[in-house]
Amino acid sequence: MTGGAGRPSIAETVQITDGFLRHAGRDFLIVFYTALRSLKLYPIENDQVQKALDDLAASTKHLLEVEKELEVRLQSEFIFVNSTRLRLDLDNYASFSHILSVFRQCGVGAVRIDEGVDRRQLQIFASLLLSYAAKEASPSVTLELGQKLVDAGVSFISIEPPLETEEDMEEEERQKEAAKRTYARSVAVTKEVINSIRLGRTANVKKVKRAVQAIVDQVLNNEASLVGLTTLRDYDEYTFTHSVNVCIFSVALGRKLGLSKLQLYDLGIAALFHDVGKSRVPLEILHKQSGLSDEEWRIMQAHPWLGVLTLFGLRGYGEIPYRGMIVAYEHHMKTDLTGYPKSVRPRSPSIYSKIVAVADGFDAATSRRTYQTVPIQPDEVLKEMLGNPRRGYDPVVVKAFINLVGVYPVGTCVILDTYEVALVHSANPDVSEIHRPVVRIVATHDGAILHPGFLADLAQRDAQGSYPRTIVKVTDPLRYGINVGDYFV
Ligand SMILES: [Fe+2]
Ligand SMILES: [Fe+2]
């Protein structure tokens, strides 16, 4: 393209660089993390270390070629690369938190890497960081480390101490970030536990307890931040994100229904483990693409009581998790007992099971899974849960749930009468306006995708007293090339 007309505008250029930095910056941190880890585990001659250092050098070179400078800065819980804040998500969670803690331990607030840096300097820097990270943190450590870099002839890398004030971080942002970390950690812990159970190893239940406590605390503090994250469902790790989502929904729902904090802990653990019996169902059946045979369904439907058995076998629980067992056993029973396992005698499922059943039903129906490639839209799911008694949910619990997530739950993709496409950002606090949430417009009427888009309160009327924007229908965001997760990070 030649001439001024073809050039991107300044705003576009900013967006392009921003996108580049977000990817290249993230890649850089991941290779940096790999280098740190392999240097820690193996001697320098090791192939893995050599490969990691090659990757690190290549990634640094690539960034410097485009950006001419490279600065990695920590601010509060965030990592910035050349002033672009990197997004934390499930696959970079481990590397980001590791780098955060190594930098903190070494008293490093920012690292500057300039053109001319080579593989050797990067290696010395990584090794020095490792040796300082192992020491007690002290205020003089930054100076010492800086001096060591100079002594070793590392002239293209310099470090700075952390900024004194971190108060400029907005409280809301901070909470969002904390919620995201709780979420990512819970998924990691759940994965660890379920995998150990599957392999017949001892599972670390204490970690699960801590993760659930963090979820309860966060829900009690700021419900919206964590509940909003349950929209990040598009991961392959359905089993684990599903358990965490059900846990978050259940705790938030339990709170609405007036449970005490201790009860919420119990409920949270029970919810997280509601499908634990699936760890005894063969993976071929669990992940099967096409319809299950009768025999396979029978095995799938055994997961409630297999869950009870598994919970019996979990060590480190302290007390026997009766509540968890009941929930694992009852969560598919339905209020009229037409579900499974079949009950021989009349019984009334516990309130814990009814809560988990609603959370479970909603999350399962709105997710994309192996045997359900198209998720059903959240509002349809809620309508069905409330309106169809054969689904067997407790209507009081479903109503409380709708009250919690709104008729259009956060993250729902909607088409407006202006032909714009929007994502639900938050429910309208006024119940009489429950059909008019605050949305983020993410695509213009002619289909151009906006990022980050802008917020619009659908309950707001114009000067004539009419609503400028109204939801017409719910749609599948993928049809518009919209990745919901991108707007909630
Ligand atoms: Fe289940
Ligand atoms: Fe489930």
Report how far ligand 1's centroid is from the alpha carbon of 222 (Å).
28
**Measuring CA to CA, which residue among 400, 479, 470 is closest to residue 443?**
479
pLDDT value at residue 245 = 93
Taking 70 as the pLDDT cut, the residues of the chain under it are: 1-18, 76, 90-91, 137-139, 164-172, 223-224, 232-236, 289, 315-320, 368-375, 429-432, 489
pLDDT value at residue 324 = 92
pLDDT value at residue 423 = 92
Length of the chain: 489
Amino acid identity, residue 17? Answer: T
pLDDT value at residue 139 = 66
pLDDT value at residue 487 = 81
Report how far ligand 2's centroid is from the alpha carbon of 196 (Å).
19
Report how far ligand 2's centroid is from the alpha carbon of 276 (Å).
9
pLDDT value at residue 421 = 94
Give pLDDT tens digits for 415-432. 999 999 999 888 776 666
pLDDT value at residue 13 = 45
Report whether 400 contacts 384 (CB < 8 A): no
pLDDT value at residue 7 = 53
Report how far ligand 1's centroid is from the alpha carbon of 304 (Å).
7
Report how far ligand 2's centroid is from the alpha carbon of 488 (Å).
24
Report how far ligand 1's centroid is from the alpha carbon of 274 (Å).
6
Domains of the chain: 8-160 (no CATH), 171-404 (1.10.3210.10), 413-487 (no CATH)
Rounded to a whole number of angstroms, the distance between the first and last alpha carbons of the chain is 34
Return the ligand number nearest the Cα of 333.
Answer: 1
Furthest C-alpha separation in the chain: 81
Q: How many CB atoms lie within 10 A of CB 213?
A: 16
Report how far ligand 2's centroid is from the alpha carbon of 357 (Å).
8
pLDDT value at residue 277 = 93
Q: What is the signed CA dihedral for 274, 280, 281, 282, rounded to 10 degrees?
A: 140
Report how far ligand 1's centroid is from the alpha carbon of 334 (Å).
12
Report whether 469 contacts 458 (CB < 8 A): yes
Q: What is the pTM of this model?
A: 0.65
Query: E strands of 141-191, at which residues?
Result: 157-160
Report how far ligand 1's centroid is from the alpha carbon of 449 (Å).
37
Report how far ligand 1's centroid is from the alpha carbon of 319 (Å).
23
Residues with CB under 5 A from ligand 2 (ion): 275, 360
Q: Two tokens at 351?
A: 């309130």
* Three-state DSSP state, 159: strand
pLDDT value at residue 14 = 44
pLDDT value at residue 259 = 93
- Whole-angstrom CA distances from 39 to 118, 197, 305 are 17, 31, 46
* Three-state DSSP state, 114: strand
